[in-house]
A and B are shown apart, each in its own frame.
Chain A
Amino acid sequence: MFSILRTLWNILLHSFRPRVTIQYPDEKPYLAPRYRGRIILSRDPDGGERCVACYLCAVACPVDCISLQATEDEHGRRYPDFFRINFSRCIFCGYCEEACPTYAIQLTPDFEICEYDRQNLVYEKEDLLISGPGKYPDYSFWRVAGVQIGGKAKGESEREDAPADVRNLLP
């Protein structure tokens, strides 16, 4: 009996509490920097595409929403001929971002991608590519001193940095 009255009183006190609702279209919610929303393809600091068309994202994708076709330019460098993400299938799990060896594919805190037409949810490469480097501003896959191959030591090939001194803490 007493507990019923106490419940009533407690609920009545809720009249003076702030409301938790965020009135969305008028008031935007806070999204964490790592929020997993719309997927983008980023570029190097030099402006080139980061994607090397390795298909790892397409393999990692649990719902098979990524499809791409690799091709090579005149230097023998791989890049995607087309790169297509079907956002009506995407579950925004972020596995593609984790699989990507070059930080090319990234998820952004933007969830406002509603469309009236399902077809419009299929994003092509032009829609996905952004002009900047995304979350890793200084990273460039091609500049990183790579692997030793036959007839060439680390850091000797064109457009490659000298190998990092792993014993030095300085950047």
Chain B
Amino acid sequence: MNEAIIHVITVLGVLFVVLNIAAGLIWVERRLLALWQDRYGPNRVGPFGLLQVAADTVKLFFKEDWIPPFADKAVFVLAPAIVMLTALMSFTMIPVAPGIQISDLNIGLLFVLGMSSLGVYSVVLGGWASDNKYALLGGLRAAAQMLSYEVFMGLSLMGVVLLAGSFRLSAIVDAQRHMWFVVPQFLGFVLFMIAGVAETRRLPFDIPEAESELVAGFHSEYSGMKFGMFFVGEYVGVVLISVLITVLFFGGWLGPGLVPIAWFLIKVFAFIGLFILLRASLPRPRFDQLMSWGWKLMLPLALCNLVVTGAIVMATRR
């Protein structure tokens, strides 16, 4: 009984914190982008403009929630829910600190990868159901991008799994007690970082949205809170990838001095900042460039990394 209550509290707590961080990231991103472009960003609503998020949310709720008459209604409504659902499902596996984890599956990493891959359905279905050329092109690009980047995203993590000897995320964190995996698996880290940016469809890999080419890409026809779901879903994705990098390569909650959860949050926010810095500085590559890098450069690199790591683990384990 007591355990069940603690479990429910953990679930609600993680949900609350994740959603709030994701919504707050809208403000963080706008302020950071402004800082790097020598501007101020939103600073008039509340202290430091913090209430901008509340104002935006209220605005989104009162917007007309319009479904185009030519759209496929059921799918159109379902698509934005999928992106939130899959991203939030992944968080069930994340070990925030010792004991603060909703579920510690022995295939946790596979579950997270699977769920984040399912997220692409929302984009593709959203683009398809809109019955709009730009939305469809966005969905098409999203599908192709996910296909090419999902492959080496998984492979780049296999080195970590080999070193830790487990798919269980808490075990992976524990295995980094002596050395963070970013040191032996630096190539894996770089590959995963690139794949993660592509996975969350953020700049420089925001090719499915590409507002200079495709209006707003897959969510061109969305308005009101359905658009808000896509918007927040993207930020949940950013948090998820940052959390995964922290857990898999930077020792999760491990660190001297502070309480474990503080270390975890510091690392996660550092990577969120890196995400925003990438957006502030890099231009968008062409679509065919993205595909050819994915298949011809990243995938072979990931395979080499896997083979070399495997060989070293084989040689030293005996």
Contact = CB atoms under 8 A, between A and B. Distances in A.
Contacts of B277: 8, 11-12
A4 B34 CA distance: 20
B282 A15 contact: no
A109 to B, nearest CB: 25
A20 B37 CA distance: 9
Contacts of B36: 11-12, 14-15
A20 B41 CA distance: 12
B contact residues, range: 10 to 19
A3 to B, nearest CB: 10
B255 to A, nearest CB: 23
B30 to A, nearest CB: 13
Contacts of B40: 19, 21, 23
A157 B37 CA distance: 66
A171 interface: no
Interface string B27-41: 000000011111110
B39 A11 contact: no
A170 B141 CA distance: 79
Interface string B279-293: 011100000000000
A159 interface: no
Interface of B: 34-40, 277-278, 280-282
20 contacts: A4-B282, A7-B281, A8-B278, A8-B281, A8-B282, A11-B36, A11-B277, A11-B281, A12-B36, A12-B277, A14-B35, A14-B36, A14-B37, A14-B38, A19-B35, A19-B39, A19-B40, A21-B38, A21-B40, A23-B40
